[in-house]
Structures are given as C-alpha cells and as structure tokens.
C-alpha cells in the first residue's frame, strides 16, 4: 500500500514550499490533495533536501512574506513560477526573477477589501479618537474630568492615496462614500480614474489633509514618506499606513509626532516588526495595529482559492491571476 501511495504521488505536480519554521498554513491538507508538497522543513537536512529535488522544482509557493534570496533561486535552475501569499513582494529578489523570466503572483484582490476596511477604520479612529476615548472611559477619567476633547470630521477631508492599486482603489471607493475629496500618486497616471493625479508625493501632501499609504515597498518607495513630505502635510495632517513599515521614515515620523508637528497616524505596519517605537505608546493621536489588516477568515479563504487556482492554472498551461509586473 505504501509503494502504491508513492507511485501515485509521482504523478502529482510538485510544489516547493517556502515558509518560516513557526508558520503552519491552514490549507496545507487541501493543497496536498492536488499537489505533491515539497517542504524542506519536514526534512532534518533542509539544504540537502533542496539540492536533491532542485531539478524537479518548477513552482515555489511562498507562504508568509519569507525572504527568497538569489542564493535560494540559484539552487532551483528550472524554477518558472513563484506563487506568493502576500500583497508585497519586497521579500523577493525581483531583479533575479526578472533576469531569469520567473513569473510571480501575489495575493492580488484577495486581501484588498479587508485591508481597505482597516485603513478607513484607522483613519476614523485617529480623527475621532475612538481608541483613546475608550481608554479615557475605562480609566475612570470621564467621571473625574468631564467631557472628552473634540474630534475631527471625516467628510470633506482631502485624501491623498499613495499607490492606487487594488488596495488603494478600494480605499478611494470607501472614502468617496464619506464625501472625501480623493487625489493620488502612483507610478503612472491612470486614464480611467477621475481623481486628481500628482506625479510626486510631495505635491500630493501639499494638497492633502490625509495620506493613505497603500503602495508596494521597492527601492524607489523606501522612505517615500520622509520629513519633507511630513512637513508638507502640516501640523494637522494625518498619515495612515497599510503598506509596509519602511515606506515611512519611522524615526522622522516619531520626531514629528513628539514635537506636535503632525496631527496623527494610524499604523498597521512598522519598519522593524514586531518592534514598535516606544514613544508611540503614550500618544493619543496614534493608533496601532499588529500588521493584522488581512487577518480575517474571508481573506484567508479568498487567498486559498487564488493559490489553488494559480497552481492548477500553471500545470494546465492556463493564464495566471494576480501576476506581478516586473518592470
């Protein structure tokens, strides 16, 4: 029976699994019914395991944003596709993938709606001080000191979206419904979009009350929100980040907040996760979230369907979904 099982497994497409040791993805069993999963962490000698199977591996499934270096790619001479489970691809050696013609898919629209929901939630929280007000009530200060300070209205705010991709577009859709004025910065102007376009983020900040940071992290976008941009946004400006922590110069942001030179921030991502600057903990105009914008069952169900679709499509020579542009 065991030999029969192994023979059957030889006919099943091979998928190389790349994941952190502490992470067990919940749909592994479902994937195993369709594919032969090669997971180096199941072997006592992962390096030998990779070398032994290297020539057979055409697809790599990257679970969680686990770094994929050029050294790992060099071990896989026949790799044709990396199926990612995150929106960002800053953990991949994109130049090597581009050079070798390795296709990459990401989570695409699977996460977009729920991430956009959290982005808007962070913004409302910062403007209205919901989390700070909850602490105010729980600590008993309401009874002792009276009314809580005024918040700020969302409707009518000038919203500058940094990165009008899948997530940024969903953010715009939601904030339009609140009566906000939308503008954006992106790699290129989108002809079908009615919003004002700014070719650089500084001009976007000058003309915005709020910056919603939704773009991918690349060499070009690292610290795209720097001290000049924060100064342009002004003392009442708000920054929301659901992209990657390093999109913002975090040290400068802390200085601006401590000195009262910016109105507030809502952050789901940080430069050195899970470490968060301690200066942020005592500020009521700061709302923090532990990189959990995608943490809903619906997100993971949609991701599972997308990953299985792309793996099946690859081995059936069908078009892939959520392909990443490698410019």
Q: Look up 318 and say whether it is catalytic.
A: no
322 found inside a domain? no
Using the structure block, give the residue that is written with the tokens 């195993």. Answer: 32
pLDDT at 3 over 90: no
Which tens digit of pLDDT belongs to each residue from 45-69?
777 788 888 999 999 999 887 889 8
C-alpha distances in Å from residue 27, one per residue of 42, 57, 226, 300: 16, 21, 40, 9
CA angle 187, 189, 193 (to 5 degrees): 125
Do 121 and 101 sit in the same domain of this protein?
no
> How large is the average pLDDT for residues 299-313?
95
CA angle 239, 203, 160 (to 5 degrees): 40
144 found inside a domain? yes
Do 166 and 238 sit in the same domain of this protein?
yes
326 found inside a domain? no
75 found inside a domain? yes
Do 137 and 231 sit in the same domain of this protein?
yes
> How large is the average pLDDT for residues 201-215?
98
303 found inside a domain? yes
3-state secondary structure 251-308: HHHHHHHHCCCCCEEEECCCCECCECCHHHHHCCCEEECCCCCCCCHHHHHHHHHHHH
What total of structural domains would you count in the chain? 2
1 found inside a domain? no
pLDDT at 227 over 60: yes
Sign of CA dihedral 197, 203, 207, 208: positive
Which tens digit of pLDDT belongs to each residue from 148-194?
999 999 999 999 999 999 999 999 999 999 999 999 999 999 999 99
Strand partners, 62: 18, 84
Which tens digit of pLDDT belongs to each residue from 101-142?
999 999 989 999 999 999 999 999 999 999 999 999 999 999
Give the number of other CB atoms < 10 A from CB of residue 250: 20
271 found inside a domain? yes
Please tell me the pTM assigned to this model: 0.90
Do 83 and 125 sit in the same domain of this protein?
no
Do 168 and 103 sit in the same domain of this protein?
no
Pick the catalytic residue: 273, 298, 305, 318? 273
Do 257 and 282 sit in the same domain of this protein?
yes
Sign of CA dihedral 164, 219, 270, 277: negative
Do 106 and 118 sit in the same domain of this protein?
no
* Domain at 95, CATH number: 3.40.50.720
Do 238 and 130 sit in the same domain of this protein?
yes
Sign of CA dihedral 124, 127, 132, 137: negative
Do 231 and 163 sit in the same domain of this protein?
yes
Q: Which domain holds residue 196?
A: 112-288
Q: How far apart are CA 316 and CA 19, in angstroms?
A: 25
pLDDT on residue 301: 93
Pick the catalytic residue: 128, 291, 304, 321? 291
Q: Look up 53 and say whether it is catalytic.
A: no
Q: How far apart are CA 50 and CA 17, in angstroms?
A: 10
Pick the catalytic residue: 18, 19, 91, 244? 244
**46: phi then psi, degrees, rounded to nearest 5:** -65, -35
Do 273 and 166 sit in the same domain of this protein?
yes
Q: How far apart are CA 311 and CA 109, in angstroms?
A: 17
Using the structure block, give the residue that is written with the tokens 């609140």. Answer: 178
Do 151 and 246 sit in the same domain of this protein?
yes
118 found inside a domain? yes
pLDDT at 24 over 80: no
Q: How far apart are CA 55 and CA 44, in angstroms?
A: 20
Percent of the chain with pLDDT over 70: 96
> How large is the average pLDDT for residues 291-316?
95
> How large is the average pLDDT for residues 67-86?
93
- First vs last Cα of the chain: how many Å apart? 49
Do 154 and 250 sit in the same domain of this protein?
yes
Q: Look up 51 and say whether it is catalytic.
A: no
**188: phi then psi, degrees, rounded to nearest 5:** -150, 160
Instruction: Share the mean pLDDT of the chain.
Output: 92
């Amino acid at each position: 029976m065991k030999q029969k099982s192994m023979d059957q497994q030889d006919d099943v497409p091979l998928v190389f699994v790349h994941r952190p040791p502490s992470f067990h993805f919940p749909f592994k069993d479902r994937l195993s019914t369709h594919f032969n999963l090669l997971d180096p962490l199941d072997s006592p000698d992962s390096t030998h395991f990779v070398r032994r199977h290297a020539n057979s591996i055409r697809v790599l499934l990257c679970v969680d944003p686990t770094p994929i270096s050029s050294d790992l790619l060099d071990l896989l001479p026949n790799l044709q596709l990396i199926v990612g489970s995150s929106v960002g691809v800053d953990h991949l050696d994109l130049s090597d993938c581009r050079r070798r013609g390795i296709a990459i898919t990401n989570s695409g629209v699977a996460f977009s709606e729920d991430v956009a929901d959290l982005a808007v939630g962070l913004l409302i929280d910062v403007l209205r001080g919901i989390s700070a007000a909850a602490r105010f009530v729980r600590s008993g200060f309401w009874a002792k000191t009276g009314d809580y300070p005024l918040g700020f209205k969302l409707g009518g705010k000038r919203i500058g979206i940094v990165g009008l991709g899948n997530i940024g577009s969903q953010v715009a859709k939601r904030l339009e419904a609140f009566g906000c004025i939308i503008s954006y910065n992106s790699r290129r102007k989108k002809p079908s979009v009615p919003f004002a376009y700014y070719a650089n983020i500084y001009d976007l900040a000058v003309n915005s009350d709020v910056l919603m940071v939704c773009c991918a992290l690349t060499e070009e976008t690292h610290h795209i929100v720097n001290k000049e941009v924060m100064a342009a946004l002004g003392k009442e400006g708000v920054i929301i980040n659901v992209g990657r922590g390093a999109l913002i110069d975090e040290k400068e942001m802390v200085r601006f907040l401590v000195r009262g030179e910016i109105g507030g921030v809502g952050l789901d991502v940080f430069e050195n996760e899970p470490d968060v600057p301690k200066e942020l903990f005592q500020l009521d105009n700061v709302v923090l979230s532990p990189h959990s914008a995608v943490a809903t069952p619906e997100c993971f169900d949609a991701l599972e369907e997308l990953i299985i679709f792309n793996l099946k499509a690859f081995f059936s020579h069908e078009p892939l979904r959520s392909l990443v542009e490698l410019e």
